[in-house]
Structure 1
Amino acid sequence: MLQKNENKQPLLSVIIPTYNRPEYLKQAIASAVNQTFDDIEIIVSDNCSPQNPQAIVESFNDSRIRFSRNSSNLGMFANTIKAFRMAQGKYVASLLDDDMWEKDFLAKLIPPLEANPDLALAFCDHYLMDAQGNIDDRLTQECSQLYKRNHLQEGIYQPFSRIALVDKSVSTATAAVIRRNVIDWNAIPAEVGGSWDIYLNYLCSRSGLGAYYYPEKLTRYRVHEQTDTMLSGKRDPQAKIRKAQADMFCYQQFMTDERLSDLKPYFQQQWAHVSTTLGIGLMRSQRLKEARAYFWSSLKESIKLRTLAGLMLSFTPPKIASKF
């Protein structure tokens, strides 16, 4: 089913890729529908959820919503990029199906882009909330500090490669508005996988255009058992492997880009760190020989105790090594 907005082309497209989170999805859509800026379309792309969310979408009775359901599960990356490709707006913003926007998110981020054609994107800070939607002030503050948004001044950053790729202050997954034509949405490689947001940061920053920062928390990022960062932990080695492979691909791309040569030492350091992470994921899956190769590669870049410990354990029996 596909609901089309028969009005003129919207100024902004909201994309909401979703899979099997009906209650969270309802809240995410509501936060998009209730934006004070209303010249939008809302694209909900369902990745063949066991429970078809069509009824949830239709319950809003909003002609701005376009709903598409895949006949089979395409994977998270393919479903997300498909939604971006469906966008018709001058600008595009991603809203993950378990997150929410404040009512004035778009109203505060679109004007700087409209006023300055030399901006690739506008972004803001965000809250962290728990599974029930309660804001966690401590985690929110720690997140702002970790990604260096707590001291970032309002205004234009050009170039912004460092704050996008090193500090990771920019969150294109749920806290940014992007000028859609800055990116060739058909040329994003599948290897990007779960790291598509940092790759969008890369594509936007290498465009030569600037970024505008609005120093207010205008979105709410939900931390729960199905969050990607949680799934990449000890309980799901396959998720850890997939995420590490995606990160490694990205850092390899960044290292070979001459326009980012001043940041290459950082990318090499991160590549080594992620190589160790991938080795640990493989070891937990009892793929010791493969893991060992990544530990060796990491040690060639830098010697870390974590990597050395992983390498030594890779020579122990699989049942022991997998406990690392």
Structure 2
Amino acid sequence: MTELCIFILTYNRPHYLKECLESIEAQSYNDFKVIVLDNASQFNCKQIINKFTNLNISYIRHSKNIGSTGNFMYAWSMNIDTPYTMIFHDDDIMHPELLKICLSTLKEYKNLAWVGTSFNTIKSKNFASKFENNKCEVFSQYYLANYLMRSGSLCFSSVVYKTSKLKAINLKQYISLYSIVFDRPLLLELSMDGGCAICNGQLVSYRVHPEQDSVTGPLKFKNILALITCYKKIILNEDSNSDINYYKKWASVSLAQSSINLTMRNQESIYKYLKKASLQLEIGLFEITIDTIKIIIKIPFRYIKRKLLVLLKENN
């Protein structure tokens, strides 16, 4: 039986899909199959897929675009028989050792729910030639929350899941609650039973571009509040004053930045977002407002800065 199923989520990016499949073909580990999930692209993916005769690839094209989260959920819902699952993105690229390292770690620590890796953000497919710090560290849910809260490096698409653990999650509920920011809450929930591991080596090339899902996907303020609340429940359960204080500052800054981003998108009052966050998360409104002003002041464009300050003042 094949050990690993790799889903590739793709939409209208033939040049990226080709590079992605090339990186999969170059893996030192090869006991896997690939399923490309095409989100109703306007080009023929098969022309690219057919070139990779050395890969065991299946192709599914949706009749309409079901969104990035919908495509992820489609992968999750498929009935596969492999003990391990990976849901990768067409605009990312794997280092040749990625799958080997993730699978060997999952086999060494049998209770883990998933293994992921660090990444480098680049505009080409060049990787660092050495991985001297390529050590995998095991995390409990609490320490994972602290790691992510402190901007620890983890590429979501690098994650290899134990299929049985992933299938036990109510993914539809997570996407409904968090929308496009469901990734961190999902990984935190999975790590509650058995933990997880993150490899320090930058084994994925994460591509930043205007069409990526994190930029174009649907997001509401309630999703941001749910994300912050997810961290709050985990951090406040432990009796650590330093972690609790760090959480409050992190939450304040995160809410300030999110309020600015949503205001620029929706042209609504920033203060409305800040007041709602303060009440729900029990964080001082004054502190969040000060953090918001600090972020606005650093914006280089005068017109945008002036507009945001006006929107902050409204209803205040």
Please tell me the TM-score bracket, short chain as reference. 0.7 to 0.9
Structure 1 partner of 2:263: 283
Provide the rounded CA distance (Å) in 2 between the counterparts of 1:162 and 1:150: 25
AA aligned to 1:272 is S
Aligned residues: 290
Structure 1 position 260, deviation (Å): 4.6
SS in 1 for 2:274: helix
Residue among 252, 265, 281 paired with 1:272: 252
Q: Describe the shift of the 1:172–1:205 C-alpha distance in structure 2 as closer, same or farther (beyond 3 A).
A: farther
Tell me which residue corresponds to 1:97: 90
Q: Secondary structure at the match of 1:79?
A: helix
Distance in 1 between the 2:21 and 2:119 partners?
A: 18
- Which one of the candidate residues 122, 125, 133 is aligned to 1:129? 122
Change (3 A) 1:243 1:205: farther
Alignment of 1:144-159 (within 5 A): 154-158=136-140
TM score, norm. by length of structure 2: 0.75
TM-score scaled to structure 1, two decimals?
0.74
**Counterpart-to-counterpart distance in 2, 1:44 and 1:219:** 19
Q: Distance in 2 between matches of 1:129 and 1:220?
A: 7
Q: Compute the displacement of 1:250 (Å).
A: 1.9
Structure 1: gaps (5+ residues): 1-7, 138-148, 232-237, 312-317
Question: Partner amino acid for 2:161?
Answer: I
Deviations 1:155-177 (A, max 9, x none): 43345424553235363522232
Once the 2 structures are TM-superposed, how far is the Cα of residue 275 of structure 1 from its aligned partner?
3.2
Q: Which residues in structure 2 correspond to 1:216-231 (within 5 Å)?
A: 216-228=201-213, 231=215
Q: Which residue of 1 aligns with 2:229?
A: 252
Letter of the 2:224 counterpart: D
Contact map agreement 1:90 1:180 (CA 8 A) in 2: yes
1:235 aligned residue: none
**Amino acid paired to 2:46:** Q
Match of 2:63 among 62, 65, 71: 71
* CA distance, structure 1, for counterparts of residue 87 and residue 195 of structure 2: 19
Find the aligned partners of 2:221 and 2:72 in 1 and give their Cα distance.
Answer: 19
| Pairwise CA distance, 1:44 | 1.2
- The 5-angstrom pairing of residues 32-71 of structure 1 reads 32-62=24-54, 64-71=56-63
Q: Describe the shift of the 1:20–1:308 C-alpha distance in structure 2 as closer, same or farther (beyond 3 A).
A: same
**One-letter amino acid of the counterpart of residue 202, structure 1:** L
Instruction: State, as a whole percentage, how many aligned pairs show the same letter.
Output: 21
Trace 1:1-324 onto structure 2 (pairs within 5 A): 8=1, 10-62=2-54, 64-86=56-78, 87-130=80-123, 132-134=124-126, 154-158=136-140, 160-169=143-152, 171=154, 173-183=156-166, 184-187=168-171, 188-190=173-175, 191-207=177-193, 209-228=194-213, 231=215, 242=219, 245-256=222-233, 260-261=237-238, 266-285=246-265, 287-289=267-269, 291-296=270-275, 297-298=277-278, 300=285, 302-308=287-293, 321=307
- The CA distance in 1 between the partners of 2:47 and 2:25, in whole Å, is 16
Which residue identity lines up with residue 212 of structure 1 in the other structure? A
CA contact (8 A) 1:276 1:307 kept: yes
Q: CA RMSD in A?
A: 3.7
Secondary structure of the corresponding residue to residue 89 of structure 1? coil
Distance 1:321 1:122, change over 3 A: same
Amino acid at match of 2:263: M
1:143 corresponds to: none
Amino acid at match of 2:152: S
Structure 2: runs of 5+ lacking an equivalent: 279-283, 297-303, 311-316
Tell me which moved more, 113-122 or 246-255: 246-255
Question: Which amino acid in 2 is paired with 1:295?
Answer: L
Whether the aligned pair in 2 keeps the contact of 1:84 and 1:185 (CA below 8 Å) is: no
Helix, strand or coil: the match of 1:13? Answer: strand
Secondary structure in 2 aligned to 1:206?
A: coil
Contact 1:194 1:243 in 2 (8 A): no
**Equivalent position SS for 2:219:** helix
Between the aligned partners of 2:178 and 2:126, the Cα distance in structure 1 is 32
Tell me by how many angstroms 1:94 deviates. Answer: 2.8
Q: Distance in 1 between matches of 2:132 and 2:274?
A: 35
Q: How far is 1:152 from its partner?
A: 9.0
Give the conservation status (yes or no) of the 8 Å contact 1:31–1:101: yes
Match in the other structure for 2:300: none
Query: CA offset at residue 81 of structure 1?
Result: 2.0
